[in-house]
Amino acid sequence: MTEGGVSQPLVSGKALVKRFGDFEAVRGIDIEVNQGEAFGFLGPNGAGKSSTMRMIACVSPRSDGDLRVLGMDPDIDGPRIRARIGVCPQQDNLDTELTVRENLQVYGRFFGLSRAQVREKAVELMEFAQLSDRANAEVESLSGGMKRRLTIARSLVNDPELLLLDEPTTGLDPQARHLLWDRLFRLKQRGVTLIITTHYMDEAEQLCDRLVVMDGGRIVAEGSPSALISRYSSREVLELRFAPGEQAGHEAKVEGLAERVEVLPDRLLLYTANGEAALEQVTARGVRPVSSLVRRSTLEDVFLRLTGRTLVD
């Protein structure tokens, strides 16, 4: 992907638009993903993350703007691009008429792999998805998380250079999530470029070198997780928990004690450089929360600030 010594972005979108009828799901976004990078899309439901992912995956033509994937135009070279990328869609679409093993083998055949290659690949990927003991099981008999793992494994069948994962870990238990992070990290070390959407901030912080926050079809922020935190949040956060409904009454009392205050259904969040100091002042003003907590700022706080929504609901 180098031309004249300058490394080209693996994916580049300019003023990218997706319309469904009159509705604009993606409203002119610019993105660039570089070789070997792990790039994340964050955003509330309906932000346009999946619509963007589908355009990059060459299964949804762009309505406007420009898009290049692996240096090619999806409108012209769709099959050639798809041959070199792996896609894990938001919703599993496994072949319910086939077994676990057959799902991997048949999918590999679609990429032009030989029978011997897909046989070998299926064994390796079932190992990866920890489904070796279910090799001959019907897909319908798998649990939700197992299906998810199989879908992710299937996306690797062609040894993709670029892997698109739309909410890969939704429905996975904590152990499976950590395992997947580990596997994704190793893929990244091998030079595979990752594009991930997620609703889990810890996942984004762990995996992504760089991410964008989308809201209402637009990109509202962009940067590395730490840069976003320092730009959009304070160093520390003081959480004051109250009985449900009482938190709003205390809002006025804590005024001026923090750079910014967020009111959640059961909590007040005070954004400040020094959480302990703020807590002392809060107590001095006679505010008595049910419990309190001082913590580091996370992407979650950035998200809350930018989109006005919490993620875990």
Partner 1 sequence: MRVLPPGLYAGQANKVIERSALVTRRHWVIVLSGLLEPVFYLLAIQVGFGVLVGTVIGPAGEPIPYEQFVAPALLGAAAMNGAIFETTYPIYFKLRFNKLYDAMLATPLGPYDVAIGEIGWATVRGSFYSLGFVAVMAAMGVLPSTWALLMVPVAALIAFAFASVGMALATYIQSPTQFDYISLVAIPLFLFSTTFYPLSVYPAELQWAVQLSPLYHGIELLRQCAHGVFDWAMFGHVAVLVGLAAVGVIATSRRIGAMLLR
Site residues for Mg ion per CB under 5 A: 49-50, 90
Concatenated DSSP letters of 108-170: HHHTT--HHHHHHHHHHHHHHTT-GGGTTSBGGGS-HHHHHHHHHHHTTTT--SEEEEESTTT
Which one among 2, 45, 189, 291 touches ligand ATP, defined by CB under 6 A? Answer: 45
Question: Quick one: which of 7, 46, 66, 263 contacts ligand ATP (CB under 6 A)?
Answer: 46
Q: Is 144 in the site for partner 1 (CB under 8 A)?
A: no
Of these partners, partner 1, ligand ATP, Mg ion, none, which one is at the site of residue 46 (CB under 5 to 8 Å by kind)? ligand ATP
Figure out which of the listed residues 30, 34, 71, 102 binds partner 1, where binding follows CB under 8 A.
102
- The answer to whether residue 91 forms part of the interface with partner 1 (CB under 8 A) is yes
Query: Shortest distance, CB of residue 82 to partner 1, whole angstroms?
Result: 5
Q: Which of residues 112-141 bind partner 1 (CB under 8 A)?
A: 112
36 near 191, Cβ under 8 Å?
yes
Using the minimum distance from each CB to Mg ion, give the nearer residue, 49 or 62: 49
Q: How many chain residues are in contact with ligand ATP, going by CB under 6 A?
A: 12
Stretch that binds partner 1, among 56-64, 168-176, 190-198, 236-244 (CB under 8 A): 56-64
Q: Which is nearer to ligand ATP, 45 or 189 (CB)?
A: 45
Q: Could you say whether residue 50 binds ligand ATP (CB under 6 A)?
A: yes
**Rounded alpha-carbon distances, angstroms, from residue 311 to 43, 66, 135, 266, 302:** 9, 31, 36, 15, 11
**Residue 291 interacts with ligand ATP (CB under 6 A): yes or no:** no
Q: Are strands 162-166 and 193-197 parallel, antiparallel or unpaired?
A: parallel
Identify residues 183-202 at the interface with ligand ATP (CB under 6 A): none
Place of tokens 């997780």: 225
Residues that bind partner 1 (CB under 8 A): 20, 57, 59-61, 75-80, 82-83, 87, 89, 91, 93-98, 102, 106-107, 109-112, 158
